[in-house]
Structure 1
């Protein structure tokens, strides 16, 4: 098993008797049914339904002091804490940033450790495990898991190979709807729960099948295309490149424009490098475009 310390992640903690209901009423995931040691992938949205931050909510057991940990992007930790404090009003909950804790990712195996809180990545089973551990005991936690410590870039390659986007690289915070970032496919939205911030917009997209963009897995025959550059179909811009590793990458693509390119046999490229869609992306694009046309 491999493990990597994710230095781009931070940990928040939410405590207080109303914490469960407080989080459940705000975020896209179902926190009401969360059990100690389990995790939910979720997001906090703007009222217009765009992603402020995506994160994991993990319920802490009694031996961890109870409450909920939030494994979130370090660059957004302060903003997320501020937003949660804004929404708490008079609710007796406390939101803290825990600087002494770090996040590990582990894959290609299974294990546990007494040095931290281990949970399965709720987005995709193949992603493996994650763990919240004391920063000064990270090496001990890796050894206890029975894993070999590798660089975070190895985890990125694993994530990219599985077609899983990373916020801030593969989609833009504050300007992306959950469907665009594949949260609906990665267990990041519970469509059966009640209201939360931005819920009406998300439900409308789901029921109409009208997601305009998608993060899609792509492949190259040459060196990777640079992130942030335009993806082209002939002389038309159809999206933007995201992260890449080796000959695989991710791109945010316009559903209708790529479907037209596929039907016309027009190849995709980025920076002069030819791209091909991986896995079932071609069928997904055509199906989505046909649903939109029929609607």
Structure 2
């Protein structure tokens, strides 16, 4: 459930169910809203499950479980993965060191299973693990003027943080907030503003109507922004996929000790190129997720997601295809027909920043 349903409704929001949670779909005119974010700044209530880990052994415990090095210092964060025994992604998560606690931001449906799993593995470590999803509100601020927006409403802090996944504390109105410099998944400058659930309504209104102008937007716009940015998402590309297939190098630290799935991924890395890769396609018609991709007469992969780009005004798609497919004669299956498609370098649209998840292959 959104933390501020009345505020969203006052701005004309429509809603949809996502992983059992009610989130904003749009506020009307999503294509126009998309362009407003690309040209200025927008605000979205972010969908996360949140896991809190406390206790003296909290950093070591989480560090031993995930694919990246958990920071020991307050004010820092990291993007990481939990992998299964075959190296597939069980969940992705952001881990933030908030002093006496770690906060782990996960896809919504992964928070409760993660709490149960980690509680079973504590043994003699001094850790306490609980779900904190309903305690906090989280709002994303995205666009080429996002820094100016944050600066216009953040008080009592050191200014907007510069380094990705670092954060500062301050206030917006009477509400205490933590402002995180995020990893620009929309292809634009980005921040996340975290507050108590009780202060969420004031923070949302502050972000939308005070200081510099900002447009509220929902998940329909988020999906087109991240598609244009070439960002793989958990629900459509990451879940169950081996990280190197996605070129997802920012989530892995191979200098660490062993974690679940690391040995498998290391072996795949050492063998050279992966079996598949994530590519961008511009098609003559809009395919559905799962649509077959062909290179000449050969079936080489499937579309993971697609949409009509509001910026380019044409259908764009992400697809997982055989690594050796050159796609010189590419088509995608749409409505039982094969329609022409052209492979394009990612991102599809160059914004004010590049997504930290942009696929990178060596």
> Is 1:49 equivalent to 2:83 in the alignment?
no
Which residues in structure 2 correspond to 1:144-293 (within 5 Å)? Answer: 144-145=206-207, 146=211, 147-171=214-238, 173=239, 175-184=240-249, 187-222=250-285, 224-246=286-308, 247-256=315-324, 258-259=325-326, 262=327, 265-271=328-334, 272-279=338-345
Q: 1:220 to 1:38 in 2, by over 3 A?
A: farther
After superposition, the CA RMSD in angstroms is 2.5
> Is 1:142 equivalent to 2:209 in the alignment?
no
**Higher mean Cα deviation, 16-25 or 265-274?**
265-274
Q: Deviations over 1:193-231 (max 9, x none)?
A: 222221111222223323112222322343x21112222
Q: TM-score, normalised by structure 1?
A: 0.81
Q: Measure, in 1, the Cα distance between the counterparts of 2:306 and 2:75.
A: 32
Q: Measure, in 1, the Cα distance between the counterparts of 2:333 and 2:138.
A: 33
Q: Measure, in 2, the Cα distance between the counterparts of 1:135 and 1:35.
A: 25
Alpha-carbon contact 2:293-2:330 (below 8 Å) kept: no
Q: Measure, in 1, the Cα distance between the counterparts of 2:97 and 2:182.
A: 14
Q: Measure, in 1, the Cα distance between the counterparts of 2:199 and 2:319.
A: 36
Q: TM-score, normalised by structure 2?
A: 0.67
Alpha-carbon contact 2:84-2:260 (below 8 Å) kept: yes
Alignment-derived partner of residue 6 in structure 1: 46
Alignment-derived partner of residue 72 in structure 1: 106
Number of residue pairs aligned between Structure 1 and Structure 2: 268
**Higher mean Cα deviation, 17-26 or 149-158?**
149-158
Alignment-derived partner of residue 83 in structure 1: 117
Gaps of 5+ in 2: 1-40, 155-169, 309-314, 348-359
Q: Measure, in 2, the Cα distance between the counterparts of 1:84 and 1:46.
A: 14
Q: 1:89 to 1:183 in 2, by over 3 A?
A: farther
Q: Measure, in 1, the Cα distance between the counterparts of 2:93 and 2:290.
A: 23
Q: 1:131 to 1:89 in 2, by over 3 A?
A: farther
Alignment-derived partner of residue 138 in structure 2: 103
Q: 1:89 to 1:199 in 2, by over 3 A?
A: same
Indicate which of 25, 29, 48 corresponds to 2:64: 25
Indicate which of 169, 180, 184 corresponds to 1:119: 180
Q: 1:150 to 1:138 in 2, by over 3 A?
A: farther
